[in-house]
Amino acid sequence: MADPAFGHVVIVGIGLIGGSLARALKAQGATERITGVARSQQTLDRALELGIVDAAMRDVSAAVRDADIVVLATPVASINALLAGISASLPEQCVVTDAGSVKGSIVDAARQALGEGVSRFVPGHPIAGTEESGVDASFATLFQHRRVILTPLRENRPGDVALIRTMWESCGAVVSEMPVDEHDAILAATSHLPHLLAFALVDFLSARDNQREIFANSAGGFRDFTRIAASNPVMWRDICLANREQLIPLLSEIQAQLSSYRSLLETGDGLALEQAFERAKRARDELPGIVAASLGLPLEEDTGGVEE
């Protein structure tokens, strides 16, 4: 990108997501300057040391006063308060977006905090991450060949949506759009429920008397399935609570599914159990092709990762 396209970008939350976005924009020369905002002075000092940001501030209201784009890349539970805190300080043409994993509660907060100014808020969610957190975990290629979902509001100006789309595309992301409710339903099933199940399994086994023997003798399948239980507990607590209306029905359905498997075991119905496993295997075998096609990538491209 020859000329800086995005002016002054303020990123609130310089952790894995915010730091990686800053690195990616820097790598593309896509901004005139980047200001990082965080509560921790240590984080801000480290971001400056790494050259991720051009300026660092703890006062979010002061930081956004001359911003062209503001990206809220903090945990879901804090975004609501941030929206209220910056509402009076935003320049008229500034566009605000976020990186939250749940959109419904954030959109509600944006409408309340920004009033008619909600037209400038373009909700977003990068489907990317690792189990690591913090500014030192960030890297410039995190979003390459990863999906970013935008959930535009009826009030949004098309040019503002296009601006945020272009920002993420400049980082190598594949951007799609969907309604808020659809986003939350899909992410509940594909991200929030798997994390909850992984946490539940590790929590369950760690409470057993022989947990050391269990973990010492765990195979690769256990480690693969529970890998996401190493994610930030506070962040995932907030995500699960924010999306609980979508998660609770899914939990009831998965409990029914597990009960049906238990019945097959109790009756020794090996044929039905095999058929259930075969259906699951067939669906899983098709997954890489579906994901690659949706991202416009060749099948051999690695499209895995941890969802935030």
pLDDT one-digit tens code per residue, 91-134: 989 999 999 999 999 999 999 999 999 999 999 999 987 777 88
Residue 7 DSSP SS3:
coil
With tokens 């690659």, the residue in question is 292
Residue corresponding to tokens 């200001």: 35
- Mean pLDDT for 155-182 is 96
Write down the pLDDT at residue 117: 92
Please provide the average confidence, as pLDDT, over all residues in the chain: 92
Would you say 142 and 116 are in contact if contact means Cβ atoms under 8 Å apart?
Answer: no
Residue 303 binned pLDDT confidence (cut-offs 50, 70, 90) = very low
Rounded Cα distance between 123 and 49, Å, is: 30
3-state secondary structure 44-108: HHHHHHHCCCCEEECCHHHHCCCCCEEEECCCHHHHHHHHHHHCCCCCCCCEEEECCCCCHHHHH
CB 55 within 8 A of CB 85: no
Instruction: Say which residue, 291 or 185, is predicted with more confidence.
Output: 185
Share of the chain above pLDDT 90, in %: 81
Instruction: Tell me: pLDDT of 231 over 70.
Output: yes
Tokens at residue 261, please? Answer: 């498997």
CATH number of 8-178: 3.40.50.720
Domain with CATH 1.10.3660.10 in the chain: 183-295
pLDDT value at residue 50: 94
Angle at 49 (CA atoms; ends 98, 74), nearest 5 degrees: 20
pLDDT at 214 over 80: yes
Of 131 and 69, the one with more pLDDT: 69
pLDDT at 149: 97
Whether the CB-CB separation of 35 and 45 falls below 8 Å is answered with: no
Q: Which residues pair with 150 in a beta bridge?
A: 124, 177
Predicted pLDDT of residue 307: 54
Instruction: Write out the residue limits of the CATH 3.40.50.720 domain(s) in the chain.
Output: 8-178
For residue 1, what pLDDT is reported?
A: 41
CB atoms within 10 A of CB 204: 10
Burial code of 120-143, b = ≥16 C-beta within 10 A, e = fewer? bbbbbbbbbbbeebebebbebebb
Would you say residue 306 has pLDDT above 70?
no
Question: CA-based diameter of the chain, in Å?
Answer: 68
| pTM, entire model | 0.89
What are the distances in angstroms from CA 70 to CA 36, 42, 87, 88, 280? 10, 22, 11, 14, 42
Q: Which CATH number fits domain 183-295: 3.40.50.1860, 1.10.3720.10, 1.10.3660.10, 3.40.50.720?
A: 1.10.3660.10
pLDDT at 235 > cutoff 70 = yes
